[in-house]
């Protein structure tokens, strides 16, 4: 029985706008992000993707704010799930990208060039995140088998699930792109096999609404 999981990266946050490494820290959506969230809700409510039966979201505010317009449009509650959070990044959290490149050049280089072997800010390693988000995905599939589930989450968890579906391993993460804010990725599961049918879809965003970071 096929289960469809729609992954939505949260819309632009103040952290994205300011090029701050956020992790588990709480920063809300930017004004642009609020517009992206509404457009994303309109797209999914208008039938651009399979209609979700349930909405799970990271419990961080930028994800909840992204999920809210969809919740209102579809009449579905938001089920917060800490397992869908962004990677925890210890001492890196709240620092600008330029600052990180300056004060921890080797760690920053590893995160950019060999992310599978990185542990940002001595926090959570990429492999630990891969296991965490993979476990959350499997629990959702088991709970809602045969249904369509929307997971509102973050850039790095989506990269991990993309690697899991496409490569079967986190080791090839350096080959993956960063999917844009408010983009959709769709992964189907059937008989234990994962298949990514949509990756980083952003064509519902136009002009100034498309922000890539």
Verify whether residue 26 is a known catalytic residue: no
115: its two tokens: 């992310």
Both structure tokens of 108: 């920053």
Nearest to 28 by CA among 59, 67, 61: 61
- Residue 10 is among the residues annotated as catalytic for this protein: yes
- Which residue's entry shows tokens 């709970």? 143
Among 24, 86, 196, 204, which one carries the catalytic annotation? 86
C-alpha 53/C-alpha 61 separation (Å) is: 22
Q: DSSP label at 54?
A: E
> How remote is the C-alpha of 105 from its chain's centroid?
25
Q: How is 76-94 classified by DSSP, letter by letter?
A: --EEE-GGGSPPP-GGGTT
Provide the annotated active-site residues: 10, 86
């Amino acid at each position: 029985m096929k289960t469809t999981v729609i992954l939505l990266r949260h819309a632009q946050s103040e952290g994205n706008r300011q090029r701050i490494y956020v992790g588990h820290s709480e920063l809300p959506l930017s004004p642009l992000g609020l517009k992206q969230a509404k457009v994303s809700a309109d797209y999914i409510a208008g039938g651009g993707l399979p209609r979700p039966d349930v909405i799970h979201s990271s419990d961080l505010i930028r994800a909840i704010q992204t999920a809210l317009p969809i919740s209102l449009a579809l009449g579905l509650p938001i089920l917060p799930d800490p397992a869908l959070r962004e990677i925890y990044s210890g001492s890196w959290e709240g620092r600008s990208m330029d600052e990180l490149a300056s004060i921890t050049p080797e760690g920053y280089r590893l995160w950019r060039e060999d992310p599978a072997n990185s542990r940002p800010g001595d926090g959570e390693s990429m492999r630990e995140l891969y296991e965490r988000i993979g476990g959350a995905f499997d629990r959702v599939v088991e709970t809602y088998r045969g249904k369509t589930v929307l997971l509102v989450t973050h850039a790095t968890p989506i990269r991990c699930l993309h690697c899991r579906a496409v490569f079967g391993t986190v080791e090839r993460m350096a080959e993956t792109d960063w999917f844009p804010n408010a983009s959709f990725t769709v992964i189907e599961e059937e008989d234990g096999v994962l298949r990514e049918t949509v990756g980083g879809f952003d064509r519902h965003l136009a002009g100034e609404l498309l922000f890539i970071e």
